[in-house]
Chain A
Amino acid sequence: MSVEVDPVSAKAIGGTVVNDFVVKFANVNGSGSASANGMFAKSILRCGVPVAARNIFPSNIQGLPTWFEVRVTEAGHLGRRGGVDMMVAMNPQTWDRDVAEIEPGGFLFYDNTKALPPAKFRDDITVIGVPLTAMCNDRYELPRERQLFKNIVYLGALAALLGIDPAVVEQILSEQFAGRQKLIDANFEALHMGVSYVRENLGPIRLQVRKADKVGNRIYVEGNAASALGAVYGGATVCAWYPITPSTSLAEAFTGYCEDLRTDADGKAKYAIVQAEDEIASIGIVVGAGWNGARAFTCTSGPGISLMTEFIGLSYFAEIPAVIFDVQRGGPSTGMPTRTQQADLIGAAYASHGDTKHPMLLPADPGECFTMGALAFDLADRLQTTVFVMLDLDIGMNEWLTEPFAWDDKRQLDRGKVMTHDELEAGADFGRYKDVDGDGIPFRTYPGVHPSKGAYFTRGTSRNPYARYSEEGSVYVDNMQRLLRKFETAKTLIPAPIARKARKKTSDGVIYFGSTTPSMHEALDALEAQGRHLDALRVRGFPFAEEVYEFVAAHERVFVVEQNRDAQLRTLLMNEGEIDPAKLVPVLHYDGTPITARYIAGEIGQLMGLGQIKAAE
């Protein structure tokens, strides 16, 4: 069986596909491939064609398999589609499963320096061999150079195969290595080794990138960086953190942005960042800073939340503002540290012992990570409690195409109810835990505000409205009821859900949130094309706004799509809204990879089909 198929003959399998395919890179981590793969994605973006790129990497520094999936999507579907049209198979360890993943009629790109037995291939795909190792061994002496430039050679080969103008890649290389001309020249040379090989030996394939104008002014950024920038704009001055995948780059980005944007004319810092000894100290520092009137945050992942729960309870009960960015990963325990999930919802919502509940913001893309990242600090000050911003690894660590960041210069930071020196001096009655306005939110004072008025003793023990220790049952109950009133107030401050109405009237609804969003939208389109209509509601925060319950009430059946095993959003809906569980149908994806449009459409389609059969009986 001949396995080296002439690419031209592959056209017989199907027509040319323009700007709508998935390329997946299978690499060994630590081989320098990430940078080349990132440039591949960016070069397509620069052609005006949207891409959705996802890094699927191991919890390891060198030697284990890692994948990078690039979806080229002129239609702008930014979720994972599912399936692979071209596999760039650079890792012998994962060869078999990588080859198996290719869609029938798809392409396999590999390094054919060493011949492989025919059994290693499939006859329903097109195989493209480029002798990368041989080319690099001929040209380069040093093993390190041979390895690194191999990545750039395949970048050039892919550009030629897919019809990407090499000048676009050159531009990106120039930006990447700005100021280091020798490096730029060497990379150009490697790039053209790949381009020339394809032009001379293979020619373009039927998967093609064509210039379009579908990117607009959107930006390409990670959710962690966007969140960090949100924290800068939200006025955060204190950040305490402990390294943990996948949240580490959030604190690092905050550090970088602060150095650029928050250094005064004398080079002094208008911020304080502490890498603490653990997550407990991180949240302790945040609570201390919040108590003392600074805006403070920490960023972590599930295991960190577990460690922080005692402090989260203190923040709830003593009413101290705090912001926690939880970049969720696969749990429980150490779980899948480098895989994505939405499995901390219940843990965060009810973190700590005793009766507690905490507001959460649920961003769906880096653009919302920025806006919600900034908003979280206003909400924490307004509500005097911990506010969670729930990202996940998919949003946090992958670059997403998202709306550009925007800021209204007239916007003021909302510092909430803080009694000032002058108000105290004028004789205002200060009761730290007194509900003056009926919204459950008391006034607070900053330490040191006044020589003789406004001081109080903060404690995690029960106390009366004037902050005096009390174990009186009725005093305790009044306070707990006030905290519930405050949570009701939170409902009105949390971003409202976003509805998407079906084209035809339907009694079916679907609720979803966070990184599921782009795949959900694509799945809704696909379902609609099959004649299956659903009204959709994207939840953006907790406690749920009234619109969420109204949406559930207005539909007979509501699918709840989420990326965890236990249907945690569904549980929160049932628990907080006293909704009949039978009405909420879970659609769950939790293998650690981002949920795909195909998966959602398949599951819901099947469930709706079953529903119809049932109705027919």
Chain B
Amino acid sequence: MTYILKPQLHHPKLATNALGFTRRDYEGSVSTLCAGCGHDSISAAIIQAVFELEIPPHRIAKLSGIGCSSKTPDYFLGASHGFNTVHGRMPSVLTGANLANKDLIYLGVSGDGDSASIGLGQFAHAVRRGVNMLYIVENNGVYGLTKGQFSATSDKGSKSKKGVVNHDAGIDLVGMALQLGATFVGRSFSGDKEQLVPLIKAGLAHKGVAFIDVLSPCVQFNNHQGSTKSFDYVREHNEAVNKLDVITPRAPIHVDYAPGTTVKVTQHDGSVLSLHKLAELYNPNNRAQALGYLQARQARGQVVTGLLYIDPESTDLHDALDTVDTPLNELSGQDLTPGAKALEAINAGLR
């Protein structure tokens, strides 16, 4: 976390989006993470995604837990309210915030320690509840802030910088999110902006739980030979299933990437997801197949990236609770307090 504010000077010719905001309006404080940290690339991808989606920055609420990744919400979207909560507990705080005001867009940022170790329970339960949010795990397989301990997503057999071999099985949050009922599950790589930005845009537009596991190598403690989350390892073992672009209805852009079929998915906010399949005929609408595909590739040592699963008919926790359209935090005393007369009837029933 930093107290260094960025200068507010803008280049007069900076590009603006339809709302008149420049990319700079979506930035935050200067990052205090290590130079070259994958997390900073993810912050940049978030900034670009929100800028391109033309979301007014104050309509996003960004929440995080504790750790390197959880520090990053200070480094993007400075005009948004942010909440750096308690270690492993971002999901519950975000759930409460979401219940209070369904009209904001919720972005939860967490890390592998925060979500797969101390916060595994909260991760699981927020996902199964269908809280409307984009949940990004910046996954480097290591505890960076406390200098290099294994995390629960470290793969079995991987080596720490000190040469210690991890003998615990790694947790795959993508597989878990699929099993727990997330309605949008993707994985990307911090160094692959071309894939990550559209994925974040799609995740923000998705109603319900959108989960993205972003492999983000730690330049200090997990970018060496023997690590399975280093830049080199991921680049060599990456197996992308599709590319996507979010097309907002207001400014439709169609970008045709690679050859192959195109699947268009209409999201609840009206935006359209175009899924560009690569060599394999990958259908992102089948949860069971997504799990099987993920595990088959994993067995071959491949890291599947892209949008693995999306349910275009997704619902969220507010649908389940059937809450009123007005955000709960905007209901007045008159809306909430039944009054003296109702109390008389209650008293009468208690005699």
Please report A residues at the B interface, Cβ cutoff 8 Å: 45, 215, 217-221, 229, 232-238, 240, 261-262, 264, 267-274, 276-278, 280-294, 296, 310-311, 314, 404-409, 411-413, 445-452, 455-461, 464, 468-470
Q: Are B329 and A469 in contact (CB under 8 A)?
A: no
Query: Assuming the A-B contacts A261-B338, A294-B100, are A314 and B85 also in contact, with contact meaning beta carbons closer than 8 angstroms in the complex?
Result: yes
Q: Are B336 and A237 in contact (CB under 8 A)?
A: yes
**26 A-B Cβ contacts within 8 A?**
A45-B351, A221-B350, A235-B333, A235-B337, A237-B331, A240-B95, A272-B323, A272-B328, A274-B129, A281-B122, A289-B97, A292-B97, A292-B104, A294-B100, A294-B329, A296-B99, A446-B81, A447-B61, A447-B81, A448-B81, A448-B101, A456-B81, A456-B82, A457-B83, A468-B3, A469-B3
Query: Assuming the A-B contacts A270-B324, A272-B328, are A240 and B96 also in contact, with contact meaning beta carbons closer than 8 angstroms in the complex?
Result: yes
Q: How many A-B residue pairs have CB under 8 A?
A: 236
Looking at chain A's contact residues, is the secondary structure mostly helix, strand, loop, or mixed? loop
Residues of A within 8 A of B57 (CB): 451
B294-351 at interface with A (beta carbon < 8 Å): 317-318, 321-325, 328-329, 331, 333, 335-340, 342-343, 346-347, 350-351
User: Shortest CB–CB separation between residue A617 and chain B, in angstroms?
Assistant: 55
Within 8 Å by CB of A407, from B79, B95, B323, B337, lies B337
Within 8 Å by CB of B99, from A282, A294, A450, lies A294
7 A-B pairs with least C-beta separation:
A288-B96, A284-B92, A294-B100, A447-B81, A292-B100, A288-B93, A293-B329
User: Shortest CB–CB separation between residue A192 and chain B, in angstroms?
Assistant: 25
Cα distance A232–B339 in the bound complex, in angstroms: 10
Query: Assuming the A-B contacts A285-B93, A290-B96, A448-B61, are A311 and B86 also in contact, with contact meaning beta carbons closer than 8 angstroms in the complex?
Result: yes
Q: Are A455 and B336 in contact (CB under 8 A)?
A: no
Residues of A within 8 A of B74 (CB): 457, 469
Residues of A within 8 A of B104 (CB): 292, 447-448
User: Shortest CB–CB separation between residue A319 and chain B, in angstroms?
Assistant: 12
User: Shortest CB–CB separation between residue A190 and chain B, in angstroms?
Assistant: 25
Q: Are A287 and B93 in contact (CB under 8 A)?
A: yes
Chain A residue at minimum C-beta to C-beta distance from B61: A447
Q: Are B323 and A412 in contact (CB under 8 A)?
A: no
Cα distance A385–B40 in the bound complex, in angstroms: 34
What is the interface residue range for chain B against chain A? 35 or more
Cα distance A276–B89 in the bound complex, in angstroms: 13
Chain A residue at minimum C-beta to C-beta distance from B103: A448
Query: Assuming the A-B contacts A238-B96, A288-B93, are A268 and B322 also in contact, with contact meaning beta carbons closer than 8 angstroms in the complex?
Result: yes
Cβ of B78 under 8 Å from chain A: yes
Cβ of B121 under 8 Å from chain A: yes
Residues of A within 8 A of B322 (CB): 267-269
Cα distance A284–B124 in the bound complex, in angstroms: 15
Interface membership of chain B positions 73-113, coded 1 if the CB is closer than 8 angstroms to chain A and 0 otherwise: 11000111111111001011111111111011000000000
Residues of B within 8 A of A446 (CB): 81, 101, 329
User: Shortest CB–CB separation between residue A219 and chain B, in angstroms?
Assistant: 4
Q: Are B96 and A280 in contact (CB under 8 A)?
A: no
Query: Assuming the A-B contacts A261-B338, A268-B325, A448-B101, are A461 and B84 also in contact, with contact meaning beta carbons closer than 8 angstroms in the complex?
Result: yes
Residues of A within 8 A of B323 (CB): 268-272
Residues of A within 8 A of B100 (CB): 237-238, 288-294, 296
Chain A residue at minimum C-beta to C-beta distance from B81: A447
Q: Are A451 and B339 in contact (CB under 8 A)?
A: no
Chain B residue at minimum C-beta to C-beta distance from A468: B3
Residues of B within 8 A of A294 (CB): 96, 99-101, 328-329
